[in-house]
Amino acid sequence: MKIYKKEEVTKATLDYFDGDELAANVWVTKYALRDLENNYYELTPEDMHNRLAGEFSRIEEKYPNPMPRDEILDLLKDFKYVVPQGSPMSGIGNPYQIQSISNCFVIDSPEDSYGGILYTDQQQVQIMKRRGGVGFDISNIRPRGISCKNAARTTDGIELFMERFSNSCREVAQGGRRGALMLSISVHHPQVLDFVKIKRDLKKVTGANVSVRISDEFMKAVKSNGDYEQRWPIDSDSPKISKHVDAIEVWNEIVESAHMSAEPGILFWDTAVKNTPSDIYSDEGFGSTSTNPCGEIILSPGDSCRLMLVNLTNFIENPWTENAAFNTAKYVKIVRKAQRLMDNMIDLELEQIDKIISKIEKDPEASSVKKIEKDLWEFIKDRATQGRRTGLGVTGVGDAIAMLGQTYGSEESISTVEHFYKNLAVGSYTESINLAKERGCFPVFDPSKELDHNFLNRIFNELDEQTIQEYKIFGRRNIANTTTAPAGSVSCLTQTTSGIEPSFMLHYTRRRKINPQDGDVRVDFVDDLGDKWQEYTVYHHKFKEWMDSTDSDCDWQSDDPSVAVSHSPYSNATANEIDWVNKVWIQAAAQKWVCHAISNTTNLPADVDVDTVKKVYEAGWEAGCKGITIYRDGSRSGVLVDSSQKSQPQKIQTRHAPKRPEALECDIYHTSVKDERWVVLVGLLDDRPYEVIGGKAELIEVPRKHKSGTLSKRSYKTTANKYDLKIGEGDDALVIKDIVSVFDNPNYAGYTRTISLALRHGAPVQYLVEQMQKDKEADLFSFSKVIARCLKKYIADGTKASVNVCTNCGAEGTIIYQEGCQTCSACGHGACG
């Protein structure tokens, strides 16, 4: 195979996407085939599509009536009709990486014991290290204060273990990639309020999303202003704990937390279970227990979401005109082919799992060490084999509606969305029945279990008589078929709106740096360094297509962009403009025909009140949605206020540090840079960094199991103060006296004293981190990077960065911190120091 340099790939891909730098960057960094030495083997997405078509064709040849390779390639090329999502694009036909091509998994709820909790913790890490997100429910864990037969005698409850699972997720994430974890709990668990409130503190459970499983029993109690039962175990007929509490009180706390921090998400669990066809087979282990991190697939333990999209925008005939129409017949035909490729993807996934299991078997560790990982992947393989679950969805809904001349959120658009999804279901199920005829039904299929299932009957009523007769003879190939996943990265490649969502931003201003050799060009901005920049407007692709196709005397691209927007089908139809009621009804119209769930966010303005959030959730339940997620603008902003929002002092302000208590709690970090291991202690006052001490790990014995401790100060009149570190409790307690001298490096000690001085006098953490990441001195560079890496964990999500312009999309004032990494809120581009 020919090897390419990254510069070659970037240039060729930029040409492929007609100069769209965001699309080119997404493909080059995420999906282009490369080995572990970053040698590239694909020049443009055309090469990737050939790779994918070859693999899908290879599977087709195993079965009767194979689809020709050229036909498969026509579906994939140019991201026109069928788009495998994320993991499939990078993993299918990739000989350089042993990974699953599933995007996310659900695993069993942890058993109610320390061993069970550690077992689940290892399972999630083993999946995450192979690129998978994970979700699981924690309702099995006994509530705080219940007796247990160990030295502690009583349990600490769910919060401690939520932090464990969250920290493991953060630990396994590499190179700035955020781990993906969903923790859910039943509303009937006695600690549901602790679960609901935990993320009001922006520093808690930062490695996981959280959702509450809401029952109809609970919602009826809310509506009737009554009580409901909290119990544990939650599914027991004779629970050890049972108490009746005010449903409205619990509901108000859930809503208040969502208003404050956009979490928890809501899962209407009874609605979900009753309308998910795989739950028919709960006796065979396919009963749903939780959802994947993005919430689009409600899953049983060991199962996963394998995702593929159909691009709706290429089925609109005569777009942007009065004669615009949706070609339903062509759409259903393509959906059937896409479902066929989805079934092929299961075979490809089984091959990948075999590679994973083979690697585990060949790894040098003892069998006892490898057992949990090997058993996990064998269980995942069994679930994929027995159920053959697929996740076929659509993308470009927002653009398709605009291309038809409709306004997203209007009554007309709600009917159009239902038409899209009803025919997705018809095409998908028709082909799944045809595949059962050609290849066999999924192994646990039982027609007697599927009688009178409301969701299946809704779809079967839309199928032709021949297909129904074939279903009665051959069954179905796949236990459940459809979903709607978020399509952030993929929508950059299709150059459309994402999934079911409307357009987020129709235009933004980008800056291009002017080089001295550029000659006489317009200068719009001069920065603090004297560099000159030219500004220009970047348009959403389909919005620009509308401008180019519209017969008007206006030169849209030279006029104020807002004028063009006001005349377009996108007017009053972006994410922050749509009425929330209509957004819920669009989701409900789609959910009526979707097997699994829908990843969809209802955006609300910053000044919306708590009562409106409550109405959104209640409308979602009444409309038949399986879940609802809201985001109130600014609800995840950091506690540190952007300096531009306050008047700047004209002189240097003197600030006095709060007095240090005799003892401070501290976080302990074990980290490494350039193969050198370090230990860093961050003393905390009111949960904010107050002081830092650290040095090389070889000089100190701090067991890695200890993540926190206490720093006590011993004061002397004639000599410097000394600091003692205490870790552990009882028989496990350890005290390291005069820890600064133990690290034995005056350079590091002086450096940390300076940082500590700045911290306790109120210097914003993000500014310190940004300065430390600039250091290039050989001796201190590694240590500086270590300290910055530890301190950035205390930068609240949403905090504005000093960098003002995104280097990827050029948007101004959009750089914020997420999980300690600088991220553009406009395009999602991220970077970690």
- pLDDT digits 0-9 by tens, 492-534: 999 999 999 999 888 877 666 777 666 677 787 777 667 777 7
Q: How far apart are CA 67 and CA 593, in angstroms?
A: 27
What is residue 642's predicted lDDT score, i.e. its pLDDT? 35
What is residue 324's predicted lDDT score, i.e. its pLDDT? 98
Strand-pair partners of 232? 241
Q: Where are the beta strands (DSSP E) in 653-784?
A: 663-673, 676-685, 688-696, 708-714, 722-727, 734-736
What would the DSSP string read from start to end of 718-755?
Answer: SS--EEEEEES-GGG-EEESSHHHHH--HHHHHHHHHH
Which tokens hold the place of 757? 């001085």
Query: Quick check: 652 pLDDT over 60?
Result: yes
Query: Quick check: 543 pLDDT over 90?
Result: yes
In the CATH hierarchy, which fold is given to the domain comprising 104-299?
Anaerobic Ribonucleotide-triphosphate Reductase Large Chain (3.20.70)
Q: Work out the angle between the directed axes of helices 778-791 and 765-772 (0-180°, nearest 10).
A: 150
What is residue 296's predicted lDDT score, i.e. its pLDDT? 82
Query: Quick check: 774 pLDDT over 80?
Result: no
- pLDDT digits 0-9 by tens, 433-474: 999 999 999 999 999 999 999 999 999 999 999 999 999 999
What is residue 63's predicted lDDT score, i.e. its pLDDT? 98
Which tokens hold the place of 347? 């075979």
Residue spans of the domains in the chain: they are 104-299, 506-567, 663-794
Closest CA to 570 of 811, 809, 409, 394: 409
Q: How far apart are CA 541 and CA 546, in angstroms?
A: 9
Q: How far apart are CA 429 and CA 681, in angstroms?
A: 57
Closest CA to 353 of 590, 661, 99, 17: 99
Decide: 421 and 405 in contact? Cβ < 8 Å: no
Strand-pair partners of 265? 211
The mean of the pLDDT values for the chain is 89
- pLDDT digits 0-9 by tens, 284-325: 999 999 999 888 889 999 999 899 999 999 999 999 999 999
Q: How far apart are CA 589 and CA 582, in angstroms?
A: 10
Q: How far apart are CA 210 and CA 213, in angstroms?
A: 10
Which tokens hold the place of 756? 């500590």
- pLDDT digits 0-9 by tens, 172-211: 864 444 468 999 999 999 999 999 999 988 788 988 999 9
Q: Give the Cα-Cα-Cα angle 107, 587, 266 (nearest 5 degrees).
A: 45
Task: Tally the C-alpha atoms within 13 A of residue 604's C-alpha that lie toward its C-beta.
Answer: 28
What is residue 175's predicted lDDT score, i.e. its pLDDT? 45
From the number of C-beta atoms within 10 Å of its C-beta (0-12, 13-18, 19+), residue 473 rates as: exposed
Comparison of pLDDT for 226 and 770, the residue scoring more = 226
Cβ neighbours, 10 Å, residue 105: 29
Which tokens hold the place of 117? 């909790």
Query: Which residues have C-beta within 8 Å of that of residue 377, sequence separation ≥ 6?
Result: 126, 353, 356, 357, 360
Tell how far CA 295 is from the center of its chain. 9
What is residue 649's predicted lDDT score, i.e. its pLDDT? 61
CA distances 563 to 315, 376, 503, 558, 571, Å, are 28, 56, 17, 11, 10
Decide: 349 and 99 in contact? Cβ < 8 Å: no
- pLDDT digits 0-9 by tens, 593-610: 999 999 888 888 888 999
Q: How far apart are CA 353 and CA 338, in angstroms?
A: 22
pTM value is 0.79
